[in-house]
C-alpha cells in the first residue's frame, strides 16, 4: 500500500492496460474523455463495470457526461446507479485498487490536487471488491439500460440552448456541488416520456412536497387508476416505475420507502 498525492492519470492508464479480466469503476461524476482513453488502452476481453450517480441536472450542467455511460453500455459494460455515491474507487482484475478523492474526469486525474492510496495487498483488495459488489446489489441501486440513456439524451437535447455570451474563462470544478435539481421547463421532461413513465412523472408533480413516501401513493392512485382502469395493482406499478424514473435521474431513493423528486 502506498499514498497517492500527485496526479495519477498516467498510472491509472497503465493499470487499465495491465488489466486482463475486469476493471471496476466507481465515481459519482464521469467524463467522456476519460472513458474514451480507457477504451483506447483496454485489453481485448477485459470487462468494465461502473457505479455512478445518475442525476439529470448533472448531465445538463455537464458536470458528468451521459455519453460516457452510453459508451460503456455500447461496449458491453455494465452501469449501476447508486444515488448516495460519493466514493471514488478503481479496481483492476480484483488484485489492485485505487481509492482516491478523484472523480473519473480529466481534472480529477491530471489537474486537481487529489489524495488517495494504491492497494495491492490481496486481503485489502478483496474487502474493497466485496464493498463494490454490495453497492451493485443494493436495493437502492439500479442497473442502467441503453433505453435510459436514450431518454436522458432526448430530454437534454430538447432544452433550449442559452444565448452565447462572451465571458472571462474561469477554472471552475463544479463536480462536488450540492445536490442538483432540474430547474428548467418541466415540459422538456414530460414531452420526452411515454406511457407509465410520463403518467407517473405527471402524478408525482401533483404531490406538493419534495420528499415523499409510500404513504403518499394513495394521493396519486386515483389519477393513475383513471389513466389505466384495467390495472388492478396500481401501487406495485408505481414502485416499478419509480425505479425507471430513478435511473433517468429524476427520482432519488432515500431508503425505507422514502423518495425525493429531483426537480423543482
Q: Please, are residues 89 and 15 in contact by the beta-carbon 8 Å criterion?
A: no
User: Are 11 and 137 within one domain?
Assistant: yes
**103, 31, 24: which is closest to 67 by C-alpha?**
31
- The sheet with strand 251-255 has its strands ordered as 211-213, 258-261, 251-255
CA neighbours within 13 Å on the CB side: how many for 243?
14
- Walking along the chain (264 residues) 10 residues at a time, the average pLDDT comes out as 96 98 98 98 98 96 96 98 97 98 96 97 98 97 97 95 58 52 94 97 96 96 96 96 97 96 95
80: which DSSP letter? Answer: E
Q: DSSP letter string over 212-257?
A: EEGGGHHHHHHHHHHH-TT-S-HHHHHHHHHHHHHTTTSEEEEETT
Domain count of the fold of the chain = 2
How confident is the model over 9-22, as pLDDT tens digits? 999 999 999 999 99
User: Which domain CATH number covers 137?
Assistant: 3.30.870.10
Distance of CA 31 to the CA centre of its chain: 11
pLDDT confidence of residue 173:
47
How confident is the model over 161-185, as pLDDT tens digits? 766 555 454 444 445 545 689 999 9
Residues 6+ apart with CB under 8 A from 228: 196, 199, 234, 237
In a domain, 92, yes or no: yes
Q: pTM above 0.75?
A: yes
CA neighbours within 13 Å on the CB side: how many for 262?
24
Alpha-carbon span 258 to 239, nearest angstrom: 11
Domain termination residue (choose one: 103, 131, 146): 146
User: Are 142 and 88 within one domain?
Assistant: yes
Domain termination residue (choose one: 146, 162, 197): 146
Residues 6+ apart with CB under 8 A from 151: 192, 193, 197, 248
Alpha-carbon span 91 to 72, nearest angstrom: 16
Residue 219's φ and ψ, nearest 5 degrees, are -75, -20
In a domain, 204, yes or no: yes
Q: Please, are residues 53 and 179 in contact by the beta-carbon 8 Å criterion?
A: no
Give the range of the structural domain holding residue 68, as residue numbers without chain letter.
2-146
User: Are 40 and 103 within one domain?
Assistant: yes
User: Are 21 and 90 within one domain?
Assistant: yes
Q: At what angle do helices 9-18 and 32-41 cross, to 10 degrees?
A: 40
Alpha-carbon span 98 to 1, nearest angstrom: 10
User: Are 48 and 128 within one domain?
Assistant: yes
Amino acid at each position: 500500500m502506498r499514498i497517492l498525492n500527485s496526479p495519477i492519470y498516467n498510472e491509472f492508464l497503465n493499470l487499465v492496460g495491465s488489466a486482463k479480466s475486469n476493471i471496476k469503476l466507481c465515481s459519482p461524476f464521469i467524463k467522456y474523455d476519460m472513458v474514451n482513453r480507457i477504451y483506447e488502452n483496454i485489453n481485448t476481453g477485459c470487462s468494465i463495470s461502473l457505479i455512478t450517480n445518475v442525476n439529470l441536472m448533472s448531465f445538463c450542467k455537464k458536470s458528468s457526461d451521459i455519453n460516457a455511460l452510453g459508451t460503456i453500455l455500447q461496449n458491453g459494460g455494465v452501469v449501476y446507479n447508486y444515488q448516495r455515491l460519493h466514493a471514488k474507487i478503481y479496481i483492476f482484475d480484483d488484485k489492485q485498487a485505487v481509492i482516491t478523492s478523484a472523480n473519473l474526469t480529466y481534472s480529477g486525474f491530471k489537474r486537481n490536487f487529489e489524495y488517495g492510496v494504491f492497494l495491492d495487498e490481496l486481503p485489502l483488495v478483496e474487502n474493497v471488491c466485496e464493498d463494490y459488489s454490495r453497492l451493485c446489489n443494493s436495493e437502492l441501486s439500479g442497473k442502467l439500460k441503453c433505453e435510459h440513456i436514450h431518454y436522458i439524451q432526448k430530454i437534454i437535447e430538447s432544452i433550449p440552448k442559452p444565448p452565447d455570451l462572451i465571458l472571462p474563462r474561469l477554472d471552475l470544478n463544479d463536480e462536488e456541488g450540492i445536490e442538483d435539481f432540474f430547474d428548467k421547463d418541466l415540459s422538456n421532461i414530460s414531452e420526452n416520456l411515454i406511457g407509465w413513465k410520463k403518467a407517473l412523472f405527471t402524478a408525482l408533480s401533483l404531490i406538493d412536497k419534495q420528499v415523499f413516501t409510500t404513504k403518499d401513493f394513495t394521493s396519486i392512485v386515483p389519477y393513475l387508476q383513471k389513466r389505466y382502469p384495467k390495472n388492478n395493482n396500481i401501487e406495485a406499478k408505481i414502485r416499478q416505475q419509480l425505479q425507471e424514473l430513478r435511473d433517468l435521474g429524476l427520482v432519488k431513493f432515500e431508503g425505507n420507502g422514502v423518495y425525493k423528486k429531483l426537480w423543482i
